[in-house]
A and B are shown apart, each in its own frame.
Chain A
């Protein structure tokens, strides 16, 4: 897979700029998806035993109300909640990895930092899109990182859990791009971003 071009992390564009807010959110989600994919690739390069392994087990992050959400706004609100959990998981991965392996400065660590920042940016973007007076959305990580990472235990278990978290990030960033595109289509009436 070709290496993705790294794009700068920017704050939301001011009102009146060329791209709509929903369109910008879709772009951020798509960029996040690409970066999460690249992050997993870098992690597999470090832990080569994962290259041909597909873990079993269900999702770490799941939404009970996802199927019940009817409107696009509600789906984005659910997505926002899932992304918060993903951010919490990523925070926990960073914390545990730095604790176990030390603060390293390789490509994986740099991309991991980028994904965290991009995910925070997307959370702020979705919050701005669907937050209402009745529905106050938070952007802080929704994970305490004080529980055992996986049943297997040990540092090998941490690696397996990290792998699952990265897969989860890919899944939810892709889901975010699709959900936000639906919202964009409804609000803007066009497929174009």
Chain B
């Protein structure tokens, strides 16, 4: 509120005037406000149920701003409240404002009130205007809204269900989905479906269920797309009218009444067919510019096109096709539906199909109505159809005519494709490929083959049936025809129209030496073969192939290659994997075929089907595996090598990979036992199952024994030879190794020798018995027995040096002597011995003192003996007898030391028991002496029973037996040598 400035003292009149002015101004303003905020009157509601739009109009005076409130009448719930600016409709003079409801307007009654607003000033509300809903009590049945609504895909729709009186709301279902519902009024419930998908032709069902099971109310909603077209183009068929076509694009999901309608240049082109979506429309004349409008309930789409008629000519299909047929050509004729085509320059395609192959040929001409098809094949079924286009300003091909069929006439056959097969023995076959239907030009009635010699011009003709494809020949039997083994074979085929041109091939003996075959690798296009060609060569080539394993009258196939070509790919349906094929390139097949090159190859290499024939043999500790190379039929691929395995249970261990195709293998270093070997051949596809051989290794010690026996045999033989030689040279041997014993030489101080003295006693010497006081109590006595000269080299003396030139030493025998005297060898000695036994002294009797020498008496020094033979003393430690220990032959350390050590132990044990052990080295020097001494000998080597003078040790004692054996062998050799004695 403006504040007034009053100055009463200075200008009272002016102040009064000012107040009046202010009052008037305020009064005018207030009057203007009262005019602007008049209450709206004559509020009117106009509902559009389909769009759910409520049109509200009223008389609002001068005001332009209004407050509107819309409520659901029953529940007095505010649906809309807002201030809107509305201008007066000049025609009706009323304010109008439209409001779109989220729910169908039928769902429930709506109350509308309006008031004018001028800034902060508002008028009073107008009278309430009610839009009656369908839930009024007068509509008692269940209802659901909206009905038959068409909405775009992805939109949201709110459905409401008005429940019948005295029924209870159940649920709202969209398709089969129960929706969440809200209550709008006493009987009305609403649910909103969001992002709806396209519906089927009969729409999407929305159902409302109540507590009454038989009551079923529903609505149908159609969810689809607006039209969206493309490729709109117009053309003419009859050179007068227009046919426009387009592409409908995506399915609108709207059918029947709701389908898209089309207008071309504002003419309804919609056809009455409800079956398919329309894509074409005809206009009776050529307008040059066209606009297509497609409309459905959700929107519209328009496309345009423009063109001159001559640029859009698409001829109709030719009609009434006919043909005039010959063997190698035919004429096709047709008619046009429109006479206007007679002046139209046309280009036509004639497509004829024969044997599954289609061929197109093009013809041109004004008003074209026929075409001549040349280069056809006789006796061939053809199917022909024609289509045309405008030759000038070609637009597109017209529609194909209905096809017609005809069959060409017959003619003489083509020349057969001839080749040959030659065996090594001069025989062979002339072979030709059966003529195909396309080559025979009619039914073949037979073949004729003519063999002729170009030089002598002699020929021989064979007539064959139509089923024959080969005729044998024998060049060796055709000698009368040809001196140089060159024969020309000509083959002709015959049908009803006549004979074919002849096809020739030259027959010769096959080449003796074949060129080496190189390897051909199969590819997807067959076996690619290439060769070097002479630039001047004018001959064609033939490449023949057959299975390599076949050698006689083989089924051969071939292909002819024109001259100048240097490569070809060979493919055949007869090729089998795992079969080796040989390819041979011949030049000049009809004149003088010459084998130029050979190949071999597989379409696919397989693992070998057979197995190697495996054998094994033992070679000492080695095993030799040998096998035969695999036949080609079984190898099924180029053999790359062999794998040798040894089997350990169920597992194979690779021993060797023999990539050089060796057929033997030696496995070394095996001991006794059973071994299993497997040999597998392999190709690039893998290895075959293999052959297994089991070998049991025999003990090769037998071989060792055999070798030993052989060595022993050889040694024996050498010994025999040596013996023989010795026998023959026995005098020399006697002289060299067994010279006559010289007479002993006794130096003057011989008795002062410190060591044991070997004395060669004379067989007839007697030994004096020397008393030895220490042994008196034990009644034991040491007896020295004279010994014949022997070859014992003094082993019993130990390591002390021995003069081998001296006679052999005396030997001592420890002997327990009873009261009775030892039986004397001679009566003289027995007397002395008996006398000595009778005394209490221990006597030692030496016998056999050499007659040439005096009898020698020694006082034996056991102590000295024990010193000289320490090992024996060691063995006698455990002895308690304290008797004499026999002397042992000292041995140098050797392999048989163990054996040598046991013997003294046994002897020591014998000594422990106080028993007697005879010296083993006792023997006669010669058989003669043995014979001479007779019964004396045993008594010398064995203890003698006191009572019976029998030997205490049995003869069968093992040790004594061995001694005797060795003694016998030595005796034999001694005898041998002794035989040389004079």
Chain A positions within 8 Å of B, measured between CB atoms, are 46-49, 53-56, 97-105, 152-156, 159-160
Residue of B with least CB distance to A57: B214
B202 near A47 (CB under 8 angstroms)?
yes
B460 lies within 8 A of chain A by Cβ:
no
B273 lies within 8 A of chain A by Cβ:
yes
B911 lies within 8 A of chain A by Cβ:
no
Chain A residues near B207 (CB-CB < 8 A): 49
B275 near A102 (CB under 8 angstroms)?
yes
Cα(A174)–Cα(B219), bound, Å: 32
Instruction: Using A154-B147, A154-B220 as known contacts, say yes or no to A101 and B214 having CB atoms under 8 A apart.
Output: no
B661 lies within 8 A of chain A by Cβ:
no
Instruction: Using A49-B207, A101-B202, A155-B148 as known contacts, say yes or no to A54 and B214 having CB atoms under 8 A apart.
Output: yes
B202 near A46 (CB under 8 angstroms)?
yes
Instruction: Using A154-B148, A155-B148 as known contacts, say yes or no to A103 and B220 having CB atoms under 8 A apart.
Output: no
Chain B residues near A49 (CB-CB < 8 A): 173, 176, 205, 207, 216, 218
B255 near A102 (CB under 8 angstroms)?
yes
In the assembled complex, 27 residue pairs joining A and B whose CB atoms fall closer than 8 Å, in A order, are: A46-B202, A47-B205, A49-B176, A54-B214, A56-B214, A98-B274, A99-B257, A99-B274, A100-B202, A100-B256, A101-B201, A101-B202, A102-B259, A102-B274, A102-B275, A104-B255, A152-B217, A154-B147, A154-B220, A155-B147, A155-B202, A155-B203, A156-B144, A156-B147, A156-B205, A156-B217, A159-B205
Cα(A100)–Cα(B254), bound, Å: 10
Q: Among B144, B217, B219, B257, point to the contact of A100 (Cβ < 8 A).
A: B257
The 5 closest A-B pairs by CB, nearest first: A102-B255, A154-B147, A103-B275, A155-B220, A103-B274
Residue of B with least CB distance to A153: B147
Cα(A102)–Cα(B148), bound, Å: 16
Cα(A55)–Cα(B257), bound, Å: 27
A159 near B201 (CB under 8 angstroms)?
no
Chain B residues near A155 (CB-CB < 8 A): 147-148, 202-203, 220
Q: Among B201, B216, B219, point to the contact of A102 (Cβ < 8 A).
A: B201
Cα(A49)–Cα(B219), bound, Å: 12
Give B179-222 as 1s and 0s: 1 = Cβ < 8 Å from A's Cβ atoms. Answer: 00000000000000000000001110101000000101111100
* Number of A-B residue pairs at CB separation under 8 A: 62
**Cβ of B352 to closest chain A Cβ, rounded Å:** 37
Cα(A100)–Cα(B255), bound, Å: 7
**Cβ of B821 to closest chain A Cβ, rounded Å:** 141
- Give the residue among A49, A102, A153, A159 with the most B Cβ atoms within 10 A: A102
Chain A residues near B217 (CB-CB < 8 A): 152, 156
Cα(A97)–Cα(B202), bound, Å: 9
Chain B residues near A47 (CB-CB < 8 A): 202, 205
**Cβ of B68 to closest chain A Cβ, rounded Å:** 32
Residue of A with least CB distance to B146: A154
Q: At the interface, is chain A mostly helix, strand, loop or mixed? A: helix
Cα(A55)–Cα(B217), bound, Å: 11
**Cβ of B227 to closest chain A Cβ, rounded Å:** 15
**Cβ of A53 to closest chain B Cβ, rounded Å:** 5
Cα(A91)–Cα(B570), bound, Å: 70
Cα(A148)–Cα(B255), bound, Å: 21
Cα(A47)–Cα(B255), bound, Å: 17
Chain A residues near B220 (CB-CB < 8 A): 154-156, 159
Cα(A74)–Cα(B274), bound, Å: 42
Chain B residues near A48 (CB-CB < 8 A): 176
Chain A residues near B255 (CB-CB < 8 A): 101-102, 104
Chain B residues near A105 (CB-CB < 8 A): 275
Residue of B with least CB distance to A104: B201
Chain B positions within 8 Å of A, measured between CB atoms, are 144, 147-148, 173, 176, 201-203, 205, 207, 214, 216-220, 255-257, 259, 273-275
Cα(A97)–Cα(B219), bound, Å: 16
Chain A residues near B273 (CB-CB < 8 A): 103
Cα(A48)–Cα(B203), bound, Å: 13
A102 near B256 (CB under 8 angstroms)?
yes
Chain B residues near A101 (CB-CB < 8 A): 201-202, 255-256
B205 near A55 (CB under 8 angstroms)?
no
**Cβ of B203 to closest chain A Cβ, rounded Å:** 6
Cα(A49)–Cα(B176), bound, Å: 8
**Cβ of A52 to closest chain B Cβ, rounded Å:** 9
Residue of A with least CB distance to B222: A155
* Apart from the given pairs A46-B202, A159-B202, 6 other A-B contacts in the complex at a CB distance below 8 Å: A98-B256, A100-B256, A102-B275, A156-B147, A156-B205, A159-B205
**Cβ of A13 to closest chain B Cβ, rounded Å:** 34
Residue of B with least CB distance to A100: B256
Cα(A152)–Cα(B144), bound, Å: 10
Cα(A5)–Cα(B807), bound, Å: 140
B218 near A99 (CB under 8 angstroms)?
no
**Cβ of B278 to closest chain A Cβ, rounded Å:** 12
Chain A residues near B173 (CB-CB < 8 A): 49
Chain A residues near B147 (CB-CB < 8 A): 153-156
Cα(A55)–Cα(B214), bound, Å: 6
**Cβ of A19 to closest chain B Cβ, rounded Å:** 38
Cα(A156)–Cα(B222), bound, Å: 12
Chain A residues near B176 (CB-CB < 8 A): 48-49
**Cβ of B835 to closest chain A Cβ, rounded Å:** 148
Chain B residues near A102 (CB-CB < 8 A): 201, 255-256, 259, 274-275
**Cβ of B42 to closest chain A Cβ, rounded Å:** 34
Chain B residues near A104 (CB-CB < 8 A): 201, 255
**Cβ of B275 to closest chain A Cβ, rounded Å:** 4
Cα(A98)–Cα(B147), bound, Å: 19
Cα(A101)–Cα(B217), bound, Å: 20
Residue of A with least CB distance to B276: A103
Chain B residues near A56 (CB-CB < 8 A): 214
Cα(A54)–Cα(B214), bound, Å: 7
A53 near B256 (CB under 8 angstroms)?
no
**Cβ of A155 to closest chain B Cβ, rounded Å:** 4
Cα(A104)–Cα(B255), bound, Å: 10
Instruction: Using A48-B176, A49-B216, A154-B220 as known contacts, say yes or no to A99 and B256 having CB atoms under 8 A apart.
Output: yes
Residue of B with least CB distance to A53: B216
Chain B residues near A98 (CB-CB < 8 A): 256, 274
Chain A residues near B214 (CB-CB < 8 A): 54-56
Chain B residues near A55 (CB-CB < 8 A): 214, 216
**Cβ of B288 to closest chain A Cβ, rounded Å:** 34
Chain B residues near A152 (CB-CB < 8 A): 217
Cα(A140)–Cα(B373), bound, Å: 58
**Cβ of A160 to closest chain B Cβ, rounded Å:** 8
**Cβ of A111 to closest chain B Cβ, rounded Å:** 16
Residue of B with least CB distance to A156: B218
Chain B residues near A103 (CB-CB < 8 A): 273-275
Chain A residues near B205 (CB-CB < 8 A): 47, 49, 156, 159
Residue of B with least CB distance to A46: B202
Residue of A with least CB distance to B217: A152
Cα(A48)–Cα(B218), bound, Å: 13
**Cβ of A164 to closest chain B Cβ, rounded Å:** 12
Chain A residues near B274 (CB-CB < 8 A): 98-99, 102-103
- Give the residue among A47, A48, A104 with the most B Cβ atoms within 10 A: A104
**Cβ of B209 to closest chain A Cβ, rounded Å:** 10
Cα(A101)–Cα(B256), bound, Å: 5
Cα(A81)–Cα(B227), bound, Å: 47
Residue of A with least CB distance to B173: A49
Cα(A101)–Cα(B255), bound, Å: 5
A156 near B256 (CB under 8 angstroms)?
no
Cα(A56)–Cα(B212), bound, Å: 12
**Cβ of B912 to closest chain A Cβ, rounded Å:** 118
**Cβ of B193 to closest chain A Cβ, rounded Å:** 16
Chain B residues near A53 (CB-CB < 8 A): 216
Cα(A97)–Cα(B201), bound, Å: 10
Cα(A53)–Cα(B173), bound, Å: 15
Residue of B with least CB distance to A50: B216
**Cβ of B19 to closest chain A Cβ, rounded Å:** 74
**Cβ of B219 to closest chain A Cβ, rounded Å:** 5
Cα(A46)–Cα(B220), bound, Å: 14
Cα(A100)–Cα(B258), bound, Å: 8
**Cβ of A148 to closest chain B Cβ, rounded Å:** 14
